[in-house]
Amino acid sequence: MSEAWQELISKAVAESGGEIVFNEPLARHTSFRIGGPADALVIIKNRKGLDRLRKVCLEAGLRIIVLGRGTNVLISDQGIRGVVVKLEGEFSQVEVNGNRIFAGAGVLLDRIAEVAELNGLSGAEFLAGIPGTVGGGLMSNAGAFGQSLADIVQEIEVMAGDGNVRVLKRAELNAGYRQPLIPTGCWALAVVLELSKGAARKGKEIRAERWRKHPTAPSAGSFFKNPALTSAGKLIEQCGLKGLVLGKAAVSDKHANFIINLGDARFVEVYELTQIIKATVEEMTGIELDEEVRVLPDSGSTGDRR
């Protein structure tokens, strides 16, 4: 990124009350603790700021990726050329009206479960303990315990790459398993969730259950999508891969669908380990595993991750 464009982006971000850091290591901003530098890491706090940044980057031919909490990504050690965005400010606001929750894209999914429980609403308990944001969750139809965001989402406000803002109704959404609920090239701005009045299972219990089952070492969460009729973790374990180590990356001996960073793991170690897992599982079972974790950079021009 040239100094001229750095100056223009800095000005656009400052005018909207945002923050910017150049050549920021993304390992500091992902749950995997892996990732090289972004040309620019920007904190955007309102829709006006996001649209202003969009215009400058479009003119400069620079890619924008909305990262969220970085909990479902594996980023190259070479980093990302372009602008990485984190949404805060108005995007972190939550409101409750009756049995509906209105939340910005930067709100933590765990916070949704907490707010629902505090307001006597049920239906969002499965979000307890999920570390990502609403925006990232919408990009993967995040879920657990047989439920997903698609079950409770009523509307999603999105901004397209041309700056057009629209509201997607429930009937327009793609509700596939671990598939984006919003169209490619759009950024989630906010969501409306519809829940039910009534007692819900305590979030404290669900979080404790997650902590018992999941490793505490840095990871990106469940790495592979569950195939039909079985789980990726069971398949990986059945193939004798649980605990497999490659450099500083390993298949967790606590949950086989988690690849963990044992300390200073490199992108290539994790990536090669995933290829070994996929090849072995397919050879032994005939089932081809599909990654749930997104590998960056990819070929897309825009994105939104938790």
Concerning whether 178 is annotated as a catalytic residue, the answer is yes
Residue 306 among the catalytic residues: no
Residue 206, classed as helix, strand or coil, is helix
Looking at residue 305, what is its pLDDT? 44
The Cα-based distances of 11 to 20, 21, 183, 191, 230 in angstroms read 10, 13, 30, 29, 51
Catalytic residue list contains 111: no
Token pair in block for residue 15: 């005018």
- From 178, 294, 305, 306, active-site residue: 178
Place of tokens 């669908």: 257
Residue in 16, 31, 222, 252 annotated catalytic:
222
> What is the per-residue pLDDT for 302?
44
Radius of gyration of the chain (CA): 19
Fold held by 224-290:
3.90.78
- For 129-215, where are the E strands, in sequence order? 143-144, 147-148, 153-159, 165-169, 187-194, 196-197
How many CA atoms within 13 Å lie on the side-chain side of 136? 30
Closest alpha carbon to 284 in 241, 255, 224, 227:
241
Position 200 scores a pLDDT of: 65
Q: Domain 93-197 falls in which CATH fold?
A: 3.30.465
- pLDDT one digit per residue (tens) for the chain, 306 residues: 888 889 999 999 998 899 999 999 999 999 999 999 999 999 999 999 999 999 999 999 999 999 989 999 999 999 999 999 999 999 999 999 999 999 999 999 999 999 999 999 999 999 999 989 999 999 989 988 888 999 999 999 999 989 999 999 998 888 787 888 999 889 999 999 999 998 666 778 888 888 888 999 999 999 999 998 899 999 999 999 999 999 999 999 999 999 999 999 999 999 999 999 999 999 999 999 999 999 998 754 344 444
Which of 221, 292, 256, 269 minimizes the C-alpha distance to 32?
221
User: Residue 186 to residues 62, 165, 181: CA-CA distances in angstroms?
Assistant: 16, 9, 10
d(CA 185, CA 203): 34
Say how far apart CA 117 and CA 200 lie, in whole Å.
Answer: 7
Same-fold call for 93-197 versus 224-290: no
Task: State residue 39's pLDDT score.
Answer: 96
SS3 sequence, 269-301?
A: HHHHHHHHHHHHHHHHHCCCCCECCEEECCCCC
pTM: 0.90
- H/E stretch holding 8 reads helix 3-15
Single out the catalytic residue among 76, 148, 292, 294: 292
pLDDT, tens digit (0-9, with 9 covering 90-100), for 115-157: 999 999 999 999 999 989 999 999 989 988 888 999 999 999 9
Residue 266's φ and ψ, nearest 5 degrees, are: -100, 155
Q: Is 255:233 a contact under the CB 8 Å cutoff?
A: yes
Class of domain 3-89: alpha beta
- Exposure of 174 in the CB half-sphere (CA atoms within 13 A): 13
- Domains of the chain, residue spans: 3-89, 93-197, 224-290
